[in-house]
């Protein structure tokens, strides 16, 4: 698993009964997304690159965030090579935090690694009406605009 410390679902699951194991995996992915993916993507790329006016962009920081996000999405790609959703065979809460980043990640004009399994996962999420309605919201008016 891609986690360390308390976010390691395999470790948590080993200490829990069979009823708790799936929940531990879901919680691990939710924590990973919040503590690892979201800061690098939302703050580093979406705000640092997209929302910041060109003249104010911190390119060394943006490049670091791009590299870290590439690592994060490669990790997701490895996990999704073995199953259709993050926690297993069915859509779950594990897919929501990381999955909400995909629309903007794939729509931005940035360099990204080839992550075929993540792309397939994104296509599955896009089939869901709630994802299209609540996540796939146009954001062009936010380009270069730091104020909310």
By residue range, what is the domain housing residue 133? 5-142
- Is the Cβ–Cβ distance between 24 and 13 less than 8 Å? yes
Residue with tokens 């794939």: 106
Q: Report if residue 148 sits inside a domain.
A: no
**Roughly what angle, to the nearest 10 degrees, separates helices 95-107 and 21-32?**
30
Per-residue pLDDT reduced to its tens digit, 54-113 = 999 999 999 999 999 999 999 999 999 999 999 999 999 999 999 999 999 999 999 999
- Which CATH number characterizes residue 32's domain? 1.20.1050.10
pTM (predicted TM-score): 0.83
Angle, vertex CA 96, rays to CA 33 and CA 49, nearest 5: 55
Residue with tokens 């910041």: 52
Residue with tokens 């990973």: 32
DSSP 45: I
Q: Report if residue 147 sits inside a domain.
A: no
Q: Report if residue 26 sits inside a domain.
A: yes
Report the domain count for the chain: 1
Per-residue pLDDT reduced to its tens digit, 105-147 = 999 999 999 999 999 999 999 999 999 999 999 999 999 998 8
Give the per-residue pLDDT at 24.
Answer: 79
């Amino acid at each position: 698993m891609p986690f360390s410390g308390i976010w390691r679902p395999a470790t948590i699951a080993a200490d829990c009964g069979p009823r708790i194991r799936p929940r531990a995996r879901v919680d691990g992915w939710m924590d990973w997304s919040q503590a690892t993916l979201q800061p690098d993507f939302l703050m580093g790329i979406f705000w640092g690159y997209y929302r910041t006016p060109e003249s104010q962009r911190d390119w060394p920081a943006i490049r670091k965030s791009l590299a870290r996000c590439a690592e994060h999405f490669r990790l997701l790609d490895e996990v999704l090579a073995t199953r259709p959703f993050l926690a297993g065979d069915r859509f779950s809460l594990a897919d929501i935090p990381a999955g909400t980043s995909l629309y903007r990640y794939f729509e931005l004009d940035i360099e990204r690694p080839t992550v075929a399994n993540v792309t397939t996962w994104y296509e599955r999420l896009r089939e869901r009406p709630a994802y299209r309605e609540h996540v796939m919201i146009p954001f062009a008016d936010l380009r270069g605009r730091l104020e909310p």
